[in-house]
Amino acid sequence: MSHRLPPYILIETPQALEDFYQAHRGLKWMGFDTEFVGEKRFRTTLCLIQTISDAGLYLIDSIKLKDDLGPFLRLIQDKGIEKITHAGDNDYRLLYNLYGTLPKNVFDTQIAAGFAGYNYPTSFRKLVEGETGQHLKKGYAVADWEKRPFDTKALKYALDDVIPLPQLHEALKRKLEKRGRTHWAVEEFAHLEKEAYYYKDPNHDALNSNIMRSLKKKDRVFLLRLFAWRNATAERRDHSKEMVLPAKYISHIVRGIASGANALKQNRRIPDKLAKKYGDEFEKLYTREATPEELEILKHLPYESDTSPEEDVLMELLYHVIKYRCIQEEISINMVVPRQILKSIRSGEETAREAIGDGWRKEMLGAYFTEWLATAKEMDVRLHDDRIELWPR
Which pLDDT value is given to residue 304? 65
Alpha-carbon separation of residue 165 from 66, 80, 160, 287, 311 (angstroms): 27, 18, 9, 56, 44
Which pLDDT value is given to residue 1? 44
Q: Is 136 in contact with 160 (CB distance < 8 Å)?
A: yes
pTM here is: 0.90
Rounded to whole angstroms, the Cα distance separating 50 from 31 reads: 8
Q: Which residues of the chain have pLDDT under 70?
A: 1-3, 138-142, 303-307, 339-340, 342-357, 374-378, 392-393
Rounded to whole angstroms, the Cα distance separating 131 from 122 reads: 12
Q: Is 32 in contact with 20 (CB distance < 8 Å)?
A: no
DSSP state string for 41-63: SSSPEEEEEEEEETTEEEEE-TT
pLDDT tens for residues 90-103? 999 999 999 999 99
* Domains parsed from the chain with CATH numbers: 9-198 (3.30.420.10), 204-298 (1.10.150), 309-392 (no CATH)
For the beta carbon of residue 117, count every other beta carbon within 10 angstroms. 14
Helix, strand or coil, per DSSP, at residue 82:
strand
Contacts of 353 (CB under 8 A, 6+ apart): 374, 375
Question: Which secondary-structure segment (H or E) carries 133?
Answer: none
First to last CA, the chain: 63
Question: Which secondary-structure segment (H or E) carries 382?
Answer: strand 379-383
